[in-house]
Structure 1
């Protein structure tokens, strides 16, 4: 029975990965409700005086200030980690080979990529995501009042640098999702579809996975909820396209995906601070997030003709051959 189940998982790994990730995510919801963890979480943020952020440092500080928030924090992290838990369940079916594949992707860039090229891709990636956040901040500043939006960043402080690194590498979504989305699902999709089509499919999967944890959106009313979900769907697809480009440029490794996920969540508040929870402000700020993404995504699609930095096996062999020729010339 178990062997048959493993065989079925190997036959449809992407389907089972997605099923597992949604089942784990949904199973946490009734636990939240029956344990009253949500109230404990809200009281924890109120008691600590901290704003909601997606990074692990904030989670740790909230628990230190208000131990009653521990269960809510823990369940929230488990829910986010549903994606990576799902991919580890798939890896179990493949045995040692499955875990070795995941481990091999957990690098800053692929082994055959020169360090200066890897650093260049990382630099452009960080600048691109920072520029998108700053463009969003500019749009929010232009379209919202001072009571609805604030922006206070000291780029030259040590605190800002620390927060920026935390946002990149200690974001809960980045750490606990990207082994699944980019480390597992994207390579499988790109083996069957073009990079652009694979990115769109993954973006839709990513969006649909978030729906159960955003049911509170319906408190804004059915019409507004549909509008918000439509904007979110576009955002996830655009973000997926942009992330695919940089993921492919470093040879398909996971750490850059973690960083991009963290930068897009922007716990450092480069995109500013939203001071109102009204429907109008929610819709407008989400649209302002999407506008820079549209510009970047279209630019990358046009620049790469839809390839989004993807290199075929031939491209990789040619690259390796060129590298060997250069090394031979240097030795001479």
Structure 2
């Protein structure tokens, strides 16, 4: 790349950091996911299977792309657009652990409670989970925190959310971020992650809708905790842990993927409506100074 072209690219990133972030995050992640999608774990265009590690092919098939995309894009765009000062602000939110213990307790216990209550409208009563599942819950939660939480949230919530919120407000910013966050997962519907080839594309639409509703809730948590990324990562990890372990044990007659999307949409939707109404759309964001 010659100097003039490089200068034009850097100038474009500085002028449009959000566009640059989303473009880079999508491109890097989707390219990294391509072998998994084309393998026999996906559409079967390539004659190999991604081996299971830690009990799942997703460890090697999905995690590298998930790590590379949002985190790398957030780091690169922040460095170009905001320099060292921006990187310090970005990194400071990543280690903002000092939040009232009540928030940690709320995330740990309210998330499973809401997910279970949101499943009741599907007409099935929960079973008591086994001791083995309860014993596995905390280790899986830690693993989800270190994988899904660390891979995604430094990008979506640490980089994109503050910029969207500053530009469009907390509610509109969440409604913009939600579909982009959800659509980033779309190639995975061509893999066993979503049960390919038995995939109903209405599920993909519902998944994106659930991501929008969940983004509204996560924006409120983000703002009320002083932009604490560890708490947001714990929230995201706990949602995944509930639906990947606890929920299937408590509702064995329901479809582990399709019906869990219904439950997520019901729970996140109810929470989002309550928060939008009670906060008048501010979602915990500081009031803007009067002009």
Conserved 8 A contact 1:108-1:250: no
Change (3 A) 1:35 1:295: closer
Aligned to 2:233, which of 234, 253, 258? 258
Once residues 61 and 246 of structure 2 are traced to their aligned partners in structure 1, the CA distance between those partners, rounded to angstroms, is 28
Gaps of 5+ in 2: 43-47
Change (3 A) 1:286 1:62: closer
Once residues 34 and 291 of structure 1 are traced to their aligned partners in structure 2, the CA distance between those partners, rounded to angstroms, is 33
Change (3 A) 1:20 1:160: closer
* 3-state secondary structure, aligned to 1:103: helix
Change (3 A) 1:220 1:119: same
Residue 28 (str. 1) matches residue 23 (str. 2): no
What's the counterpart of residue 45 of structure 2? none
TM-score by length of 1: 0.71
Change (3 A) 1:36 1:294: closer
Once residues 41 and 86 of structure 2 are traced to their aligned partners in structure 1, the CA distance between those partners, rounded to angstroms, is 35
Once residues 139 and 240 of structure 1 are traced to their aligned partners in structure 2, the CA distance between those partners, rounded to angstroms, is 22
Cα deviation, residue 282, structure 1 = 4.3
Conserved 8 A contact 1:84-1:177: yes
Cα deviation, residue 155, structure 1 = 9.6
* 3-state secondary structure, aligned to 1:272: helix
Residue 88 (str. 1) matches residue 75 (str. 2): yes
Deviations 1:100-125 (A, max 9, x none): 12111113457xxxx5xx32333333
Gaps of 5+ in 1: 45-58, 64-68, 316-332
Cα deviation, residue 78, structure 1 = 1.6
Conserved 8 A contact 1:153-1:270: no
Residue 78 (str. 1) matches residue 60 (str. 2): no
Cα deviation, residue 177, structure 1 = 0.8
Conserved 8 A contact 2:156-2:177: yes
Once residues 97 and 102 of structure 2 are traced to their aligned partners in structure 1, the CA distance between those partners, rounded to angstroms, is 11
Change (3 A) 1:230 1:133: same
Change (3 A) 1:150 1:128: closer
Once residues 90 and 121 of structure 1 are traced to their aligned partners in structure 2, the CA distance between those partners, rounded to angstroms, is 31
Once residues 164 and 208 of structure 1 are traced to their aligned partners in structure 2, the CA distance between those partners, rounded to angstroms, is 24
Cα deviation, residue 36, structure 1 = 6.6
Cα deviation, residue 302, structure 1 = 1.2
Cα deviation, residue 6, structure 1 = 1.6
Once residues 203 and 158 of structure 2 are traced to their aligned partners in structure 1, the CA distance between those partners, rounded to angstroms, is 28
Aligned to 1:288, which of 263, 267, 286? 263
In the TM superposition, 1:208-219 aligns within 5 A as 208-216=183-191, 219=197
Deviations 1:288-332 (A, max 9, x none): 2211222111111111111111114659xxxxxxxxxxxxxxxxx
Cα deviation, residue 87, structure 1 = 0.9
Residue 11 (str. 1) matches residue 18 (str. 2): no
Output the aligned Cα RMSD: 3.2
Change (3 A) 1:165 1:134: farther
Once residues 77 and 235 of structure 2 are traced to their aligned partners in structure 1, the CA distance between those partners, rounded to angstroms, is 24
Once residues 40 and 151 of structure 1 are traced to their aligned partners in structure 2, the CA distance between those partners, rounded to angstroms, is 36
Cα deviation, residue 214, structure 1 = 1.6
Aligned to 1:119, which of 97, 101, 112? 101
